[in-house]
Homo-oligomer: A and B are copies of this chain.
Amino acid sequence: ADLGRLLVRCQDQPGIVAAVSTFLTAAGANVVSLAQHSTAPEGGTFFQRTEFHLPALPAALPDLHARFAEQVAAPFQMDFTLTDAAHHQRVALMVSRTDHCAMDLLWRTRRGELPMTVAMVISNHPDLAEEVRSFGVPFVHVPATRDNRAQAEARVLELLAGNVDLVVLARYMQIITPAFLERVGCPLINIHHSFLPAFIGAGPYAKAKQRGVKLIGATAHYVTAELDEGPIIEQDVVRVGHQHDTPDLVRLGADVERAVLSRAVRWHVEDRVLRHEGTTVVL
């Protein structure tokens, strides 16, 4: 408890680390961990994640925020967030019929492995209702098809509005429109299969099989208007061979998908992931 997290981003320039750490020390905080990154030796963008211990943090936070904004963020033209690590992010999962990713996140959250609260699960199919509710998590069925997309998205936005800090597409097979992204007001993380090289379109595991690929993988990324082109948070692969048929590839792919997604979500809710143009910095 009393663990705070400060994330900053600004144009790289001399004196940032000194200014931030001097501010925290003066405020009575002790730096517990500090990671930083600059995108270039000269003229790059600077990122820093600082965890600090400050007695009675919850009470001190508003004032600390105001003073940091004025004394440090303003002169350095910084973007920053200042949060209490004890405050769990509220997360909505969206899922279609394939359950492995959503179940893995619910399970890990219950085991205490993911510092977050699953606020709700939204699905365009009713299939997973019972299983989700056995975790004590609300399940909402919002039928979605090509024909009622606008209406379905409006219903989902209504459910999410003001209620969540993050949406995880845990194998949600409907398209997310740019209009939805503009209005949702929080980041979305998606998971999808990945191959070397990529196999575009339907049936990618079957195509990978035809080409004799030896590795199948998964990528977790932030959702942007360009489908499956958002900044990558995490990736992993598993080795396969000619002895695996397409259903084997799907099964092995499922294991990689849930491992990669759970790591990406964990890093996000621990405030480790900073977005920058098309990429991420994981501190």
| Chain A residues in the interface with B (C-beta under 8 A) | 12-18, 21-22, 24-25, 28-38, 41, 53, 100, 103, 107, 111, 113, 134, 194-198, 209-215, 217, 219, 228, 231-237, 239, 241-243, 251, 255, 259, 277-282
Contacts and interface: CB of A to CB of B under 8 A. Distances in A.
Given A17-B31, A134-B134, A212 B196 contact: no
A192 to B, nearest CB: 9
Contacts of A31: 14, 16-17, 36
Contacts of A35: 35
A34 B34 contact: yes
A231 B211 contact: yes
A211 to B, nearest CB: 6
A210 B53 CA distance: 25
Contact of A21 (B18, B134, B198): B18
Contact of A214 (B113, B234, B277): B234
Given A211-B232, A215-B217, A21 B17 contact: yes
Nearest to A229: B211
User: Chain copies in the assembly?
Assistant: 4
Contacts of A100: 111
29 contacts: A13-B30, A14-B25, A14-B29, A15-B25, A17-B17, A17-B21, A18-B18, A21-B21, A21-B22, A33-B243, A34-B34, A34-B36, A35-B35, A103-B107, A194-B197, A196-B198, A211-B232, A211-B279, A212-B231, A212-B232, A212-B233, A214-B232, A214-B236, A215-B217, A215-B235, A217-B237, A239-B239, A242-B280, A255-B259
A24 to B, nearest CB: 7
Nearest to A46: B31
Contacts of A18: 18, 21-22, 24-25
Contacts of A280: 212, 242
